Every structure is written in structure tokens, then in C-alpha cells.
Structure 1
Amino acid sequence: MFKINKNSVLLGVAVLGILMTGILMAANANMAGSNKLLSFLKLNSSASVESIAQKAVGYLNESVLQEGQTATLVSAVEESGVIKFKIQIAGKDYDSYVSKDGKLLFPEGISVDLGIATQANQPLGTVTPVTVAKVQKTSLEAYVVSACPYGLQMQRALSNAIKAVPSLAEYVKVRYIGAVSGNIITAMHGDEEAKENARQIGIREEQPDKYWPYVSCYMEKATGKAANGMPYGDTEKCQQVAGVDVAKLDACIADPNRCLAYAKEDFALNAKYGIQGSPTLVLNGAVIAEKEFGGRSADAMRNIVCSSSLTLPGFCSEKLDTTPAATSFSVSYAPASSAIAASASTSPACAPVAVQ
């Protein structure tokens, strides 16, 4: 797994440790014998809200956070049947939750009130207006990794929108999530993904007219799996289909002043914006949630650009496909079934699970 920025991913590391511990506890609750890891919050029945929260923070400091980083308890209250506690790490506050018996820790709480039902009953393509700052020339950046099924979903939505209105391409740029170690590009899903990220970066920068034809082909079919199980597409075929100058691309990848430098620019922006998952959208220098504009559909991509433009581009009067794009590799733009389409309408993301 790659290292983006220790400070920016600190909470992610903590959250992962907490979540995995909770999962292990739930799965092993009925196992015989003792296990120190699974009983780090053994409490007596009279433990107070604050003492339970303090023990959770103690575990975080002892077993999860990196050396030199310390979480301090800010407050703790009982809420909705669990204990909500606020911690501070490096001057920033974060909310977490622990069960009242001290057996389960949760990284965050997700509201499931009736507002969700109202939203779910909106007609497809109906979007609550979102107010964003308008600029003369909008810049929409999508941060992805090439093997992530949700990153592919975002690229597919953009590709479909640009196919329908080619002029949209001048407002959009796909960037990649990763890191550089010893002049080698690394990625969250291993070497195969890192190599493909590098190829797509090289095509984007030095053969931009080939980028969307190549990516559109690459997303259609997985032709193999890496050792870690992540699928990858048909690079050789799609280079031919898109008319990529392979010799030029290979030279770019081999030259640290070209592809590697382009990748470093992407990765520096990862840190600047605190990018944590694939995909993440950045609109005019600010991270946004695509669900506020219609989700991961072709029309949502158009809507994002138009919502932030002082002078509306001509394509803003057009209506594109409002169906959420299919995830992962797919020949078709839309998911194959209504059940899969419903799943695709949510906004999950791939995220690193460890920092080295």
C-alpha cells in the first residue's frame, strides 16, 4: 500500500484500526479463551461514559497511532444508545463512537433518519440545487486509480459525457492517486495498477487526444488479475484501438523528467486536497460530493461544470444520461440490472488500507 501523506491519512489509519478491531470482536465474541487484542476495553458494569471513552482513546494511542502522534479526549456523551466521543489529533477534532459495554468501536456515525427515504423517492435525475462558486472557466478534476471499480465508474461517467458533448473535455482532467518511492510509482492496489496509472498519465499528458479513446476501451473488459486479485484491462489492444504511439509512451515512462514528473504533480495535489479515496472530485480547487449534483452519471458531470460556470457553455442546455454508470469493467455504460443500478447510485470509493 502506498503512503500519500502521514498527516493527511492519520485519521484513516486510526479509523481502520478501530473498525478492524470491532469486526474481530464481533466475529469472535463467542470463542472460548482469552485474547488481549479482543478485550482491550474490558470494563466493569459501573464504568462511566467518560471512562469508557478514555479507555478507547488509550487504546488508540497505544496500538493504532504512529509514534509521535497522540489523541486526546475532548468530550464524551451518550447518544442514540452508544457513546459518542470527540478526540483531538494534531489540533483537529474528530468524532468516534463506542458501544456502552466497551466491546465495539466505530469510526463514524451515519444518519438513517427519514430524510434518506425522502431522497430515495426522488425521480431519477432529480437533483436538489447546489450553490457553488462560479468562475469564468471551470476546472473539474477526478482523482482515481485504474483498478478501482468506483474509479472506473467515474471515468465511465466522464467518458460517456464527453462522447456526447466533446467540448466538455476541455473542462475536465483525470488525475491519479499514488506515491513515489525510489523513483518508482506505487498505487493502493499494487504494481499492476501503478503501471497502468503511469500509462494513463503518460497518454493524458503527451497524447491527450488518445486519452479518452484509450480509457474507454480499457474499461470494457478485464483480461486478467494481478496477484492480489485486482483485475486489469487489455492494454495492448486498447493502445492499438486508440492509436497510441507506444514508443513515445514507453520513452515517457522511462524518463524520470516526463511520466514520473507528471505523476509527482498528481500526487502532490493528492496531499494538497487530502484525497483519500478513488474517486474524489475537485471543482475549482475544492473537494465536492458528486451526489449533490446527481451522482456518477454523464449528466451529473455536465451539471457540475454548468453549475460552476459564469458563462454557460453551449452544452448546458443539453440533457445527458442520468443513469448511474456501471462500476468496474463493463462493455455497456449502464449497469446490467436494476438491482446493480441501485447499488451504482450510491457513492462508495476505494481507499488505502495501510500506510507504510
Structure 2
Amino acid sequence: MKNCMNFSPVLKERVLYLVLLIVGFAAGFVTANAHPTGLAVLSPQDVAGKVLSYINNNLVQPGSSASLIGVEEISGVYKVITEYRGRKIPVYATKDGSFLFISRPLNLSQNLSMLTKEETKKTSCEDLPKSETPKLEAFVVSYCPFGLQMQRILSEIVKEIPQLKNYIKIRYMGSVTQDEITSMHGEREAQENLRQICIREEQGDKFWDYISCFIKHGNSTACLDEANIDTEKLNACVQDSNRGLKYAQEDFDQQSKYHVTGSPTLILNGKRANEFDFGGRTANAVKTLLCCGFATQPEYCKRNLTTATAAIGFSPAYSSNQGGSGRC
């Protein structure tokens, strides 16, 4: 006899969200200006951190994670805006950080059908900020499979439309502690991030050659040679905290400014942008997103690129059966 509780992964996630919602309301209904636990009010950032940690430890599927977009106070609770698999998902928490509410509260003054339309609306090209010299910043870490996927996409764009490399900047996530660079996947990744940062800043004309090589097999030694990197200059940059670590800290400051928590994350002209609103993890989608940042789009933006989903992780080919849409 089959187990009638053998839900699909998506349905399991929805059931878990519903159970959490019911438990949350049973424990204490949240009203504006009231905190059922009587505990001290926490800062928005502290509550957002607790919420994101709880979601990633309990609600998302294995091997994936949600990231934080922002947090704000609304009607006596904190609205925490998360992103998961390309979708923006708002959740709500009490200001003492004790209860999490997955379902969106209903505004009694609004029509339910209008709320549904607002939830499903995608960002359009017209919605994105414009500039004569747009800047697409892609935040990644060098050993994240999905960060490598985004680097592969950007490398493909630069190969096919070289003019666009002037408007793309790969930035790296991490921190500097006691003159040591750190990253989410450990020392090897931290050092590779620093290596790529130094190449970007001091040997920029060879940066994309190095990236296009590294994303294939992750062999930094071979790629330094293939991209004709001046290793003496590179080593000096990596070892000089007034160069390498200074460049890295600039990236980390921008990471904090935009509240970036997941690799990859795209920022276009100072505003977070979602590649899935334009077609997903493909060269054509990200090219379209970038070109939407031009006040006047140049002719080369009309060129269509591949719509195949880029491979995740290290791969000698642009696309494979290992395409995906996660974040580290």
C-alpha cells in the first residue's frame, strides 16, 4: 500500500510553510504595536539574520539557500524580503525575533485579486534604472557552483559582444578579519577570490581570459599561464595588504551596501536585478538585463545570444545537463 503522505518536494515545502504558519499563530497572534512574548525588541538586521538562518536551516531544499534582499518595519512587525530560486519572497517576524509568519498578512483595505497581481509581477526593462554608462555588478564567490555559472554567462557575453565588458564588473563576497581574507567556502576560495580581484584591478586586460579558463576546470596555475598573467606582479598584489586586501575590502563594502548574501547576485545601476525576470541563467537573459540599463541602447544590444541555461560548477562546455538556478 502506498504511503498517501508521499508529497512532491514542492508540496512538502508548502505543507511545511503552512504548519509553521499555524504553529506561529497558535503560539501568539501578532497585533500592531504588541509583542506576545514580552521580550526586548531587536533591530531589523538582527531579526532578518535570525529569519534567514531559520529558513536556510529548516525550509529550503538541500543544497540550496535563500538570500536576504532587505528588511523594513511595517504595522508593528518586520517585513523580511528574501530571495529563493529567483523569486522574491516576503515573510514577516515579530520585532522580538520569536515568531516567523510565512503567509503574507492580508491588508483589509485592499482587494485580494490586486494583491495576487502585485505578488506575481515581474520587473520589466522599463522598471530598471537607466544610465548612459550602465554598470552591472555581479557578486560571486569563486568556488560556488552557481557563482561559476554566472561567471560563465558573463564570459560568454564578453566573448560574443566585447563592447559590453566595459559595463560589467565581477565583485566578490567575503570579509577581511585581522588582515586575513575569508570566504564562505574556506581558505582555498578566499585566496582564489583575492587572486581574481588582484588580476581584475591590476591586469584587467587579462581578467576575462583568466576567468574563461578558470571556470572550465578550476586549475589556477594553468590558467595563469594561459592568460599570460604576470605572476610576480600578481603575487606582490596578493601579499601587499595595501593592494590586494584594500581592493577586496571595496568589494565587501559594496556587498554590505546592497545587503548581498548569496552568490550570484546582480546589481544594475545601483539596484538589485533578477536575471529570472528576463529569461533565467542564460547569456541572452543577462545581456538583455544589462542592456536595459542603457538610457539609449546601442546597436549591439540587439544581437541575440544563446538561450541555453549555463552549466553550473566547473565545466569545459558553456551548457550541460547540470544547469540550475540556485545560490550559495
TM-score range, shorter chain: 0.5 to 0.7
Structure 1 position 349 matched with structure 2 position 299 = no
User: Are 2:285 and 1:300 aligned?
Assistant: yes
The one-letter code sitting in structure 2 at the alignment partner of 1:298 is A
Shift of 1:97: 6.7
Aligned residue number for residue 213 of structure 2: 217
Please give the secondary structure, in 2, of the residue aligned with 1:304.
Answer: helix
For residues 50 and 320 of structure 1, what CA distance do their matches in structure 2 show? 49
What is the identity, as a one-letter code, of the residue corresponding to 2:194?
A
- Deviation for aligned residue 1:133: 2.3
Match of 2:152 in 1: 156
Equivalent position of 1:234 in the other structure: 219
Provide the residue aligned with 1:178 in structure 2.
174
The alpha carbon displacement at 1:197 in A equals: 0.2
Instruction: Tell me what 1:268 maps to.
Output: 253
After the TM superposition, which residues 191-340 of structure 1 pair with which residues of structure 2 at under 5 Å, given as runs?
191-221=187-217, 233-336=218-321, 340=322
Contact 1:130-1:293 within 8 A present in 2 as well? no
Deviation of 1:294 after TM superposition, in Å, equals 2.0
- Write out aligned runs for 1:5-16 (5 A): none
**Identity %, equivalent residues:** 40
Q: Which residue of 2 aligns with 1:354?
A: none
Change (3 A) 1:178 1:92: farther
SS, match of residue 237 in structure 1: helix
SS of aligned partner of 2:315: coil
Deviation at 1:209, TM superposition (A): 1.5
> Residue deviations 1:313-356, cap 9 Å, x none?
231121001112111111111123xxx44xx2x3x211xxxxxx
CA shift, 1:301, in A, is 2.2
Structure 2 counterpart of 1:74: none
User: 1:145·1:197 contact (CA, 8 Å) conserved in 2?
Assistant: yes
Consecutive unaligned residues of structure 1, counting only runs of 5 or more, are 1-22, 27-40, 72-85, 99-104, 120-126, 222-232, 351-356
Q: Work out whether residues 77 and 92 of structure 2, in 8 Å CA contact, stay in contact via their aligned partners in 1.
A: no
2:290 and 2:192 map into 1 onto residues whose CA distance is: 28
- Aligned with residue 169 of structure 1, among 162, 165, 169: 165
RMSD: 3.8
- Which deviates further from its counterpart, 303-312 or 170-179? 303-312
> Are 2:73 and 2:79, in contact at CA under 8 Å, matched by a contact in 1?
yes
Cα distance, 1:56 vs. partner? 7.5
The offset of 1:150, in angstroms, is 0.9
